[in-house]
Structures are given as structure tokens and as C-alpha cells.
A = this chain, B = another copy of it.
Amino acid sequence: MTRVNNNNAQETEDLQQHLQRIIYLLSKQKLVEGFVQMQDIKNLKLDESPVHKQNLTELQSLLDKLHPADIAYILEALPLEDRLMIWDLVKAERDGEILLETSDAVRETLIATMNSGELVAATGQLDADEIADLAPDLPRYVLDDLFQTLPIEEREQLRSAMSYPEDAVGALMDFDMVTIRENVTLEVVLRYLRRLEDLPDHTDQLFVVDRDEKLKGVLPVNRLLVSDPDAKVASVMSTKMVKLYPDDKAQQATHAFERYNLVSAPAVDINNKLLGRVTVNAVMDFIREESESEALNLAGLREEEDLFAPVWKSVKNRWIWLAINLVTAFVASRVIGVFEGSIEKLVALAALMPIIASIGGNSGNQTITMIVRALALEQLNVSNARKLFAKEIGVSVVNGLVCGGVVGLFAFLIYNSISLSLVMTLAMALTFLLAAILGVLIPLTLHKLGRDPATGSNVMITAVIDSGGFFIFLGLATILLL
């Protein structure tokens, strides 16, 4: 890290205020209870410059007591200046663990301040699967250096972990599994475990393998504890188990963990050779990331944004979406343009047309949300799609007629014209029908084409229903009223 920021009193006062607020939030969550007290922060008095240095030391020892995830949380909640100052205070040997816990955007700002040596030192302490998680954010030459420093076995693991795409089971895998043989007694297993200083986190089962590392079964720790120590592993182990394959979609692993309430699961290759394991915390992280990136995608944010990102970075992050929207808005505008003559004759059309487009678009979005969910759960298939289609058409007809009736009444009350009101009703109903048909077809088509229906569907339906709704309404009005 290259910079320590301790220029003026105002800024450090700000920092203290920020920190107090954050530690307050952490302590309100009652999670860090016993680790850090509000009072510790209050006593720091970072704003009195004579004792500034000493206070920094106190702040440092306070940070040392915090869990890496909590430090990551603090770093994310601080503006860039303060963030880098805290980052400087963190002990170098904890850098790796903390980088693992931060969001991608914040990690980038931290890595930017570190030189190659610091990065190699920070990441070198991590497990191979953890390094693989950080790899996309590390400069190429740091990765090369890192490879040199790793023992051969870990080097192989790192290469293997990095070879899987982010959404594959292999990317969730770690290599911290305890393996045993089937022909020993539980007593021997217990003695073997006692020789280990510590068991890896989430060791809820031991993996039973043969000489060739082929997976024969699993021995749940709970069963190890309650069984007769003289029993053989083979007689106690379970051979019916969930096995994951590293090339499979990570989504499948999440389904398995959710359905069968797993804590860990073995990952094997096609020859049943044990390659690694997946734990529930990797799965939970994946679920969280998935749901966040879905929420971001829906709003057209390309990726998670650092809360305090510089303006130009945020602009870049949001721009693609706005550009797409510009195009679709221009198309809708040209559709209206075609009917300018009609609007000139009957200006009420201009005031009424956004109602049709906006409500129609919302209805289409509702259908799409349903279908995307069903596709994600793999509950939708050729044999039940027909039934579903019929249902959505039915819903759209009912909603279209009711909504159409209401907007028709509205148009009549304002403009006192029965024919205009009937055109409103008809246009609304037809737009709902169009929305239902497209709401089913768009995600199903994207899915068939192998694209993720969760990302593109909403933009597409909004675009089509905007233009389509304007066209239906203005077209009907031109034919029937003018």
C-alpha cells in the first residue's frame, strides 16, 4: 500500500464519525459483542493531532480484533479516502482474507493501491480455491509470480479451480476434504482425526475413498460420533449420497443443497474420482450473488457498484442500459410520429396513449416474472407449456377487459365521448393479450436459444409493448374515430 492519508483535522474527524457509526451498526447487530465496544472508538479521539499516531495504533489493534468479513464491511461503507486509510492499518497478513470478503468493485479500489510484492504476499496465504476466486481481479504478472511460489499440489489445484467458468460447480469447489479408507474401524478414524490439529470448516462428513481416490461413500461425522468405535467404516458409511460434477451448472448444486439440506457434498469426475468438495457457505454466497446480479440486471446496472465510485465509473456502469432504452424509446416515438395527423385532429389521443403502453407493459412484466421463475426451477417444459399458455391468456383477457373498462370509463368522464371510450377499452384489452403472448414467448424463446431469460426479457417486453400499445391504440382510433 502506497499512501497514508492523515492531512487535515476535518478529515480525520469525519473518519472517526464514520467509524463510530459503522461500529455502532455492527454492535447493534449484537454480532461483534465482546469483540469491540463502542467505547473503544469513542476513546480514540482521532481529531487531536498531538496524539494522532498513538490513536492510530489503538485503531489498528481494534481492527485486529475484528473478523475479516467485518473489516470488509467497514471498508465497503467508507468513502475512498477513509477506506484506504483503514486498509493501510490492517495487518498485511490479513489482506488476503479481507480481499476475499469485499465486493468486486471495492476489491478493485484496494488492489489498485497494492504493489506486486504485497499482492503475492497477501494471496499466497490463501487456499487454492480462494486464490482462484480472486484471480480475475489480479494482474497477470502477479498470478504468474504466485504460481512460482506455490507447492506443486496447490499449483495443480489452482489450475484446476481456475479452469471452470464462474457458474460451474467447479468454481464453488474447495479442496479441504478429509479422506479415510473403508477397511478401518471408527476407533482408528477417531485416532487419526485427533492427530490432525484442526478439521477444515464445514467438515460434516468424511469422504471414504479407495487407493485410486475413487469415492466409495461418505461417513457423516454425526454418525461417527454415535456409532460403536469397533465398527468398520464400510459398515457405517453411507453409499447413497449426492455427488456433484465440476462441469455441471452451479445452479444444480444450489438446488441439491436447498432440497437435501446439505452442509457439504463431494465433487467427483466421470470416473468417480474425488476431486474436491462444495460447502454450504460457497453455495450461499453463490445464491446471494445470483440474486443480486439479477436485481442489478433488472435495473440495467452491469455490475455491483462501489457506493463511492467516481462519477465516470458509475456512468459507464449504467450507460449500456440507457443506450438500449434510447433506441427503444426512439422506435416508440416514431410509431407515434406516424399518427401525428390523427393526434392533431383529436388531441385527447396524446393524453390517453401513455396509459395503454404503461399498464400493458406492467402486465407483460408480471407474466414474464412468473415464467422466468418457473424456467429457473426447471418446472416448465413442453408437456405443461400449453396449459400455462392457456392460463396466461385467460388472465390477460380478464385483466384486459376490467382494466379496459376502467380506462374507458376514465376517458368517457374526461372527454365525454362514448366512441373514444370504447376504443380505449378495446385497445387496452388487445394490448393485454399481446403482453400475455409475448410474456410467455419471449422468455421461452430466450431459454430455447440457450440465453438466460432473466436478463433480457424485461427490456424486450417493455420495448415491444410500448411501441405495440401506441400502435394498437392510435391505429384503432384512426380507423374507428376519424
* A residues with CB within 8 A of B: 14, 17-18, 21-22, 25, 29-31, 33-35, 67, 69-70, 73, 76-79, 101, 190, 193-194, 196-199, 201-204, 221-228, 240, 242-243, 245, 248, 252, 255-261, 263, 280-281, 283-285, 287-288, 291-292, 294-296, 298-301, 304-305, 307-309, 311-312, 314-315, 318-319, 321-322, 325-326, 328-330, 332-334, 336-337, 340, 343-344, 347-355, 357-359, 362-363, 365-366, 368-370, 373-374, 377-384, 387-388, 391, 394-395, 398-399, 402-403, 406-407, 410, 414, 466, 470
Inter-chain contact B263/A202, CB cutoff 8 Å = yes
Residues of chain B with a CB closer than 8 A to A394's CB: 311
Nearest chain B residue, comparing its CB with the CB of A368: B299
A31 to chain B: closest residue by CB: B256
Task: Specify which of B67, B256, B370, B466 is in contact with A354 (CB 8 Å cutoff).
Answer: B466
| Across-interface contacts of A281 in B (CB, < 8 A) | 258, 261, 280
| Chain B CB within 10 A, most for which of A204, A329, A332 | A329
Q: List 22 A-B contacts (CB under 8 A).
A: A29-B252, A29-B378, A30-B245, A31-B255, A73-B259, A79-B387, A201-B261, A284-B284, A291-B295, A295-B295, A298-B369, A299-B368, A300-B362, A301-B366, A307-B370, A307-B374, A308-B388, A315-B399, A326-B403, A337-B351, A340-B347, A344-B347
Q: Do A318 and B226 touch (CB < 8 A)?
A: no
Given known A329-B358, A384-B18, contact A285–B258 (CB-CB < 8 A): yes
**Contact check: which of B30, B222, B295, B363 meets A203 at CB < 8 Å?**
B222
A470 contacts across to B, CB distance below 8 A: 354
Contact residues of A: prevailing secondary structure: helix
Residue of B nearest to A298 (CB): B298
Verify A358–B299 contact, CB threshold 8 A. no
Expressed in whole angstroms, the minimum distance between the Cβ of A432 and any Cβ of chain B is 9
A301 to B466, CA, bound (A): 21
* Cβ of A309 to closest chain B Cβ, rounded Å: 7
Count of chain copies: 2
With both beta carbons as reference points, the residue of chain B lying nearest to A263 in the complex is identified as B263
Q: Say whether A222 contacts B198, CB under 8 Å.
A: yes
Which 9 A/B pairs are nearest by Cβ-Cβ distance? A291-B291, A69-B259, A299-B369, A350-B350, A199-B222, A311-B394, A77-B379, A336-B351, A261-B281
Supplied contacts A30-B245, A194-B225, A315-B399, 8 more A-B pairs, CB within 8 Å: A198-B223, A199-B222, A202-B204, A221-B222, A291-B295, A307-B379, A314-B395, A325-B359
Residue of B whose beta carbon sits closest to that of A17: B383
Q: Of all chain B residues, which has the CB nearest A240?
A: B34
Note all chain B residues with C-beta closer than 8 A to A29: 248, 252, 255-256, 378
The answer to whether A355 and B329 touch across the interface, beta carbons within 8 angstroms, is yes
In the complex, are the beta carbons of A382 and B31 less than 8 A apart? no
Which chain B residue shows the least CB distance to A410? B330
Please tell me if the beta carbons of A33 and B309 are within 8 angstroms of each other in the complex.
no
CA A198 to CA B227, docked complex, whole Å: 9
Question: Looking at the complex, which one of B73, B353, B395 makes contact with A315 (CB distance below 8 Å)?
Answer: B395
Q: How far in angstroms is the closest Cβ of chain B from A410?
A: 6
| Contact A370-B301, Cβ < 8 Å, known A391-B308, A395-B315 | yes
Contact B352 A343 (CB under 8 A): no
CB distance from A450 to the nearest CB of B (A): 15
Residues of chain B contacted by A318 (CB below 8 angstroms)? 363, 366, 395, 399
Compute how far the CA of A243 lies from the CA of B32 in the bound complex, rounded to whole angstroms.
9
B242 pairs with A31, CB closer than 8 A:
yes
Q: Which residues of B contact A101 (CB under 8 A)?
A: 259
Given A263-B263, A403-B322, is A379 in contact with B295 using a C-beta cutoff of 8 Å?
A: no
- Min Cβ gap A74→B in Å is 9
Q: How far is the CA of A155 from the CA of B274 in the complex (A)?
A: 45
B76 A379 Cβ-Cβ under 8 A: yes
- In the bound complex, residues from chain B placing their C-beta under 8 Å from that of A311 are 391, 394-395, 398
Contact B391 A309 (CB under 8 A): yes
- Expressed in whole angstroms, the Cα–Cα distance for A322 and B359 within the complex equals 7
> How many angstroms between the C-alpha atoms of A336 and B294 in the bound complex?
34
List, in ascending order, chain B residues with CB within 8 A of A224's CB. Answer: 225
A399 to B319, CA, bound (A): 8
Give A243 to B321 CA distance when docked, in angstroms. Answer: 43
